[in-house]
Amino acid sequence: MSDDLSKHFLELRNRVLYSLGFFIICFLCIYRFNNFLFNDLVSYLDPYLNIELIAIEVASPFIVPFKLSAYLAALVAMPFFLFQTLAFMSPGLYPQERSVIFSRTILGALLFYTGVAFCLFVVLPNVLNFFQTIGPSLIKVSTDITYFMNFVLSLSFGFGLAFQIPIIVNALIGLNIASKGTIKKYRGLVLVLCFIFGMIFTPPDIVSQFMMAVPMYVLFEMGLLFSYEKEKESNS
């Protein structure tokens, strides 16, 4: 038994090292273009920004592109991370469990990428445009690049997480942790939680919170509807 446990730990270590190595390779490849990527991001958002980006710390011009490269490397490497995780878990799963977990994991990754893209192409332009149009036109805004990058990355990551809601709802019902009737009773609480989540990952303004909370609740209803159909199919 100790030999089997040692083999499992050895396999876990190897897969962690593989994942770390792949992330480092992705990071090094992306970091070569860090200035281009940062400038491209700023150029894309520039029509909505109308601000001057400044660095108030000496290391910011290095740290900010470094952080952006690490974030993009994690996005690129995520399928490899998931593959290594599933490959490690696979021997201990039944075929039916393996099929369900694999399909949900793939769908979850696709939804995460969709959430990030939705944030970058829909939410961010509208939020930034709102910030610029709501204030007096004579005010010239200068923003620290560290704050700007943290704002972009945290908001996009938050939307990636928010788009996991259909998977979570489907799993709760599919695993019989909660019935559809029970979840339906707590729709009001879910709506409140969506706004709380929006408060955490968005700036302290009502527009940003609405732009995160409303899609989250729509995704919750979609997950609930999909689970309804699944439950009807299983009952029939």
User: What residues does each domain of the chain span?
Assistant: 1-162, 164-231
Structure tokens that stand for 164 in this block: 């996991």
Q: Lowest-pLDDT range, 14-18, 28-32, 111-115, 182-186?
A: 182-186
Q: What is the pLDDT of residue 95?
A: 79
Query: Using one digit for the tens of pLDDT, what is the confidence trace for 77-91?
Result: 999 999 898 888 887
Orientation angle between helical segments 206-235 and 124-134, nearest 10 degrees: 150
The answer to whether the Cα torsion of 106, 108, 114, 116 is positive or negative is negative
Q: Which one is predicted more confidently, 2 or 109?
A: 109
Structure tokens that stand for 192 in this block: 């409140």
Number of C-alpha atoms within 13 angstroms, CB side, residue 75? 20
Q: What is the pLDDT of residue 77?
A: 94
Q: What is the pLDDT of residue 143?
A: 82
Residue 235 has pLDDT above 60, yes or no: no
Give the integer Cα–Cα distance in Å for 69 and 73: 6
Answering whether pTM is above 0.95, one says: no
Residue 231 has pLDDT above 60, yes or no: no
Span 30-48, mean pLDDT? 86
Query: Using one digit for the tens of pLDDT, what is the confidence trace for 95-128?
Result: 777 777 888 888 889 999 999 999 999 888 888 8
Percent of the chain with pLDDT over 70: 90
Query: Using one digit for the tens of pLDDT, what is the confidence trace for 130-151?
Result: 777 776 666 677 788 898 898 8
Residue 5 has pLDDT above 70, yes or no: yes
Our CA dihedral for 115, 120, 121, 123, rounded to 10 degrees, sits at 80
Q: What is the pLDDT of residue 135?
A: 66
* H or E element, residue 204: none
**What is the residue-wise DSSP string for 140-161?**
PPEEEHHHHHHHHHHHHHHHHH
Give the integer Cα–Cα distance in Å for 108 and 119: 16
Residue 229 has pLDDT above 70, yes or no: no
- Helix (H), strand (E), coil (C) string for 24-76: HHHHHHHHCCHHHHHHHHHHHHHHHHCCEEECCCCCHHHHHHHHHHHHHHHHH
Report the mean per-residue pLDDT for the chain.
Answer: 83
Nearest residue to 72 (alpha-carbon basis) of 18, 153, 12: 153
DSSP state at residue 139: P
Span 45-62, mean pLDDT? 81
Q: What is the pLDDT of residue 112?
A: 93
Span 208-232, mean pLDDT? 76
Residue 236 has pLDDT above 50, yes or no: no
Q: Which one is predicted more confidently, 218 or 204?
A: 218
